Every structure is written in C-alpha cells, then in structure tokens.
Structure 1
Amino acid sequence: MLGQVRLTRLYELFSVSECDMDIVESAYTTLRTIGKDELWLHNWIKEKPARLGLGDLLIKHSELSHYNNKGGRLDILAYRPDLDTFYEIEVMLGECDADHGFRVLDYWARERLRNPNARHVAVLVAEDLSGRYKTVIETLPQFLNFIGIELKVLKLPYEDGVVATLVSSIVAQPDDLVIDEGDEPNRS
C-alpha cells in the first residue's frame, strides 16, 4: 500500500505532459564544426564558470602571462573562496594533446609558488579526453590535484533549424576533491 501511495504522489508531481516529451534525433559534433573557436570557449566559461561543474568560481585572471615576452599564458585562473582553492584552467578544442597537458601542470606549479597557502587544482578542459592520453588523465588525480573535464557538443533539431548545446562532464578528479554529491568522476 505504501508503494502505491508513493507512486500516486510521483504521478501527481509529474504531469502527463511533462513525462510525454518527444525524443528527438541528436548528433555529436565539434565546436569548430559549428563555427566556434577557443576564444569563444574561454568567454563561454568566463560568462558562467559554474558550467564546468566545479561550484561557484570567481574568475581572477584570463590569459595570465607567466613568461615575459615568450608566450605562456594561463587560459583562466579561477578561485573558489569557500574552499580557498585556486583552479588553473587550460582550455582546448578537439582531442587533448601533450602540449596542453604539460602546460596546465606547469601553470599549476607556478601558481602554487605564487600563492603557497591556498589549495591549487590543475584543470584541463577539452572536447575529447578519451584519446592517446586517457590513461595519464585518469592516473594523474591519484598523485596530484588534477581534474579533467570533457565537453561534448550536441546538435539538436529546433523549430526550423538546428541548435547546439555543450554538455560538460568531469572524467577525472581526486577522490578528496569530490565535494557535492553527483560530482563523482565517471568510472566506465
């Protein structure tokens, strides 16, 4: 009887119209394919940093120079005050490469020297973290504060055209950085 009461309450919470949604065809694509570049992705993250799934982040710097006159700019330096934690974020389109992987660790190490009393987390954001460096990305969090975030672009039909949406998922992070329920990395 108790189970029937719960089912009735669930039915009342979700009207038939909400549960009777159409399922549409969708397809994965890339940001480049839909005309977006890395600068667009930086701005998309800076506009609403919570999109990364790391909580309420404040953007401290963008394109922070680490090497005078030699390039070397950290894409985004974010801060989460409630945890006294800095996030050194490196962003790239496409599949993760060694250059971006080492770069995020270099910036992470340099920022730790600049602010030694705070916690620091290296964050690599890419459209594909399942390629050649997948094992490294999955192993790094066992040894240092590293988070890998994969962005997938999903094309959906909309009225007379097509729209795209970005879906982010944390694919690698140390267990002690799991803060909110549901933040756990996917283990598949």
Structure 2
Amino acid sequence: MTAYTRPKRISLKNHPVYSENWVQDIIADDPSILGLGDLVLRDRERIQSRAGRLDLLLQDPETYKRYEVELQLGATDETHIIRSIEYWDIERKRYPQYEHCAVLVAENITSRFLNVVSLFNGAIPIIAIQMQVFEVGDHVTLVFTKVLDELQRGLVDEDEDAISAPTDRAYWEKDKGTPKTVALMDRMFELVKEGDPESELKYNKFYVGLIKEGRANNYVAFRPKKAFVLFEPKLPRSDEVDALLEDVGIETLEYATRWGNYRIRVTDADFKVHKGLFQDLIEKARSYREG
C-alpha cells in the first residue's frame, strides 16, 4: 500500500525560495494547469504603454480567445483588480479582432473581493482563480481553483424573442434586401436542406435563421442586402477555414467573435463558382452544432 503523506500548505508571499517568477515559469510551461483549457503562451511580462507589465498573455489556439493573466502572491487587493482590468482593456483595444478575458490569480481571494469583482462581471469578462501551494514530502505542488467564472452570454437563438421580432419574406425583399438577393438566399438554403431536410427558414428582424421542429437551430444565418447576401456559418475561427476563404478570394467581413461566426459576402457570381465551398461550410457548421 502506498504511504500517505499529509500535504502542508505554504504561502508564497515573502517566501525565501518560491517567487512570482517561479509561478510564472510553471504556468508558462503548462498553461492548462489553470483549468481554462489547452491554452498556449503568447507573451510574458508584456509591456503595456504607461501601465506596467502584463504577467502572462494566453490564447486558445482554436477560438483565438485571449486571456490577460495577472498574478498576486498573498491576498488580492484593489490594485490587483485595477491592473487586471486595465491590462484587459489595453489588449482588447489593441487587438479588437480577438475576444478577451481578464484573469486574476491570487493565493487568497476574500469574499469582499468576490463581491467587488462580481459587480463588473457581465460588463467586463473576468475570471478569478485561487492559487494554493502545498509541500508534499520533498515536493511542491500548485493547485488552481476557479472561484469566479466568466459570465457566459447566450447565443442569439437562445433568446430569440427578446432581441429579434419575427417578420416575413416581404420585409426582407423590400426593406433590407431585394427579390434578387432573397432568391439567392433561397438557393443557399437549398444546400442546407440537402443535409438537413427538416429545416425551414425563419424570418426575423435582424437576420434570417433556421427553425427545426418548432425550435431555432441557427448554425447558419443569412442577411440579404441590396447587392449581396451576408452568409454567417457558426464556426470557431480556424486556420483551415481562413485558408479556404482566402484561397478562393471571397470577400469576408471581420469575424464575429462575440457570436462565433464567419461573415461572408455572397453574390450570384460567387454562388455559381463556389457552391461546393458554401455547402462544405454549411456541413461543417451543422456538424459543429450537433457536436
């Protein structure tokens, strides 16, 4: 039988051996230890203009979401909160194409701190993680526990009635698009029907989505305009899809990080030449939605 060794919790603040740099080394070597997924290190001690240095900048290689991580030995305090929010704000303004989240890591996170941070959560994406350090025999281990998670915003179709009043086909033909671009949307929707024959179009005020068995199922959405259709497959941003679109030269708008979808301008000419590509994107989006 393996012998039991009781762990002894130690504090890193003013510790003669273990320092904040030591913690940074551990996280930089294996960012997954924070429990935020398989992240990669983008930068360390990142210089912020007139605002000090960001401890760690991590990124999700699949969604490209970035995490601005600030470490605090001992108990967290007001300056820790301010630094974390300030660095998050600087980074999101410098790189608005990515989704950003502030991450506060401290050895001691008090209830007062959680109350203050929870006031920001929702307006500012914040995650709080408590760090504990234990000696186990001749070894030292770090344990990270998430005590405040980022407030997740619902998808468009999860609160459809609240943000998009239903309309009809005539509204899109007259007010938003034209009969010609709505007809182009119909041809694109036929590609949806090939793999998902029970889907139907649902005309909303801000977009045309999909409905299946009476429920919204918007793995793709359409927005007919006057000269084109804005096609929006819900897919995590990836090098594979970026390369597909770049290789064929189709015009795209900025990736919608908040909603998690590509935004592709499609004309009649685009559809005739790249029909197979659009069908592939639709199938990818449907497979991703179905898990």
Equivalent-residue separation in structure 2 for 1:34 and 1:138 (angstroms): 34
Task: Please state how far the C-alpha of 1:28 moved relative to its aligned partner.
Answer: 1.6
Task: Please state how far the C-alpha of 1:107 moved relative to its aligned partner.
Answer: 0.7
Aligned residue number for residue 75 of structure 1? 55
TM-score, scaled relative to structure 1: 0.73
Aligned residue number for residue 8 of structure 2? 27
Equivalent-residue separation in structure 2 for 1:24 and 1:42 (angstroms): 27
Q: Which moved more, 1:100-109 or 1:75-84?
A: 75-84
Task: Please state how far the C-alpha of 1:168 moved relative to its aligned partner.
Answer: 0.5
The aligned amino acid for 1:44 is: I
Tell me whether 1:167 sits opposite 2:143 in the alignment.
Answer: yes
Aligned residue number for residue 103 of structure 1? 83
Q: Which has the higher strand share?
A: 1
Residues 146-172 of structure 1: CA deviation (Å, up to 9, x unaligned): 001111112223xxxx42211111110
Equivalent-residue separation in structure 2 for 1:131 and 1:73 (angstroms): 27
User: Taking CA–CA contacts closer than 8 Å with sequence separation of 6 or more, which of the two structures ends up with the larger relative contact order?
Assistant: 1
Q: Is the 8 A contact 1:95 1:131 kept in 2?
A: no
Equivalent-residue separation in structure 1 for 2:80 and 2:108 (angstroms): 12
Structure 1 140/21 Cα, relative in aligned 2: closer, same or farther at 3 Å?
Answer: farther
Matched residue count = 152
Q: Secondary structure at the match of 1:142?
A: coil
Equivalent-residue separation in structure 1 for 2:99 and 2:134 (angstroms): 34
Equivalent-residue separation in structure 2 for 1:151 and 1:125 (angstroms): 6
TM-score, scaled relative to structure 2: 0.48
Task: Please state how far the C-alpha of 1:26 moved relative to its aligned partner.
Answer: 2.5
Task: Please state how far the C-alpha of 1:34 moved relative to its aligned partner.
Answer: 6.4
Structure 1 131/27 Cα, relative in aligned 2: closer, same or farther at 3 Å?
Answer: farther
Equivalent-residue separation in structure 1 for 2:8 and 2:136 (angstroms): 7
Q: 1:83-162 residue pairs with structure 2 within 5 A?
A: 83-130=63-110, 132-157=112-137, 162=138
Aligned residue number for residue 59 of structure 1? 41
Structure 1 166/105 Cα, relative in aligned 2: closer, same or farther at 3 Å?
Answer: same
Structure 1 runs not aligned, ≥5 long:
1-19, 178-188
Aligned residue number for residue 25 of structure 2? 43
Residues 16-52 of structure 1: CA deviation (Å, up to 9, x unaligned): xxxx654432332112446211111111110111111
The aligned amino acid for 2:12 is: L
Q: Greater CA radius of gyration, 1 or 2?
A: 2
The aligned amino acid for 2:87 is: Y
Considering only aligned residues, what root-mean-square deviation do their CA atoms show, in Å?
A: 2.0
Task: Please state how far the C-alpha of 1:99 moved relative to its aligned partner.
Answer: 0.9
Equivalent-residue separation in structure 2 for 1:155 and 1:42 (angstroms): 18
Q: Give percent identity, aligned residues only.
A: 32
